[in-house]
Amino acid sequence: DADVTQTPRNRITKTGKRIMLECSQTKGHDRMYWYRQDPGLGLRLIYYSFDVKDINKGEISDGYSVSRQAQAKFSLSLESAIPNQTALYFCATGEKGRQETQYFGPGTRLLVL
Amino acid sequence: QQQVKQSPQSLIVQKGGISIINCAYENTAFDYFPWYQQFPGKGPALLIAIRPDVSEKKEGRFTISFNKSAKQFSLHIMDSQPGDSATYFCAASIFGNTGKLIFGQGTTLQVKP
């Protein structure tokens, strides 16, 4: 079984819709991260969390929100999706003291029409 | 503003050749420089990393060369194989801090048989 799972793997939605991307991990890591990947831009950090009560904005948090429901679960929401949020989204985990080594999920490909 | 600049965007190498990918950074506070490898349909995975107290690190066919004064680092893949065909991302962070990684734009490598 995969250590970091993301659901859904693919999603098509319309402008203005609210959607949630979910991430679960069985690695027991306390750090969790959400990134988006765009061609020619690499991966950019959206939000990161050190534990359930510690959530921080990344480089590009506008238009996104997150929820850390448990140590193992970290969800990303787009309150009102827009076309330029079309991207590949990755969740990652990191271990306290070794958080520079991050373990990525398989990604969610999101298309906003 | 891209804090980590990566080149080339794409690279084609013959089997057995040397693949070289370059990155440059701006923030002199960065002190951890990993490379991630991403296969199609998968999330990135840590390949190799270096800290600036050494100028080179080698793991098998993969070598990182680091030039602190020039604020540049590069990945060399010796004896490149078709199985090395993937997208490679360099990244930088401040070690022991939040684990926030700043990624380069990515390089798509194709190794021809």
**Is residue B65 scored above 70 in pLDDT?**
yes
Tell me whether strands A10-13 and A108-112 are parallel, antiparallel or unpaired.
parallel
Sign of dihedral through CA atoms B20, A45, A90, A28?
Answer: positive
CA atoms of A23 and A4, how far apart (whole Å): 7
| pLDDT given at position B23 | 98
| pLDDT given at position A107 | 97
Q: Please judge whether A33 and B99 are an interchain contact, meaning their C-beta atoms are less than 8 angstroms apart.
A: yes
| pLDDT given at position B84 | 98
A58 in contact with B, Cβ within 8 Å: yes
**Is residue B98 scored above 80 in pLDDT?**
no
Where would I find the beta strands (DSSP E) of A52-97? 54-57, 64-70, 73-78, 87-95
| pLDDT given at position A97 | 74
- pLDDT of A61-107, one tens digit each? 999 999 999 999 999 999 999 999 999 999 999 987 776 789 999 99
Residue of chain A whose Cα is closest to the Cα of B92? A100
For the segment B3-18, the average pLDDT, to the nearest whole number, is 96
Q: Please judge whether A45 and B100 are an interchain contact, meaning their C-beta atoms are less than 8 angstroms apart.
A: yes
The band of A1, judged by pLDDT with boundaries at 50, 70 and 90, is low
The tokens of B74 are what? 């590069």
Q: How far is A52 from chain B (nearest CA, A)?
A: 15
Q: What angle do CA A93, A17, A84 make, to 5 degrees?
A: 65
Higher pLDDT, B10 or B93: B10
Q: What angle do CA B23, B107, B50 make, to 5 degrees?
A: 40
Which of B33, B98, B102 is the best substitution to test chain A (most A C-beta atoms within 10 A)?
B98
**Is residue A2 scored above 90 in pLDDT?**
no
Q: Please judge whether A106 and B42 are an interchain contact, meaning their C-beta atoms are less than 8 angstroms apart.
A: yes
- pLDDT of A37-49, one tens digit each? 998 899 999 999 9
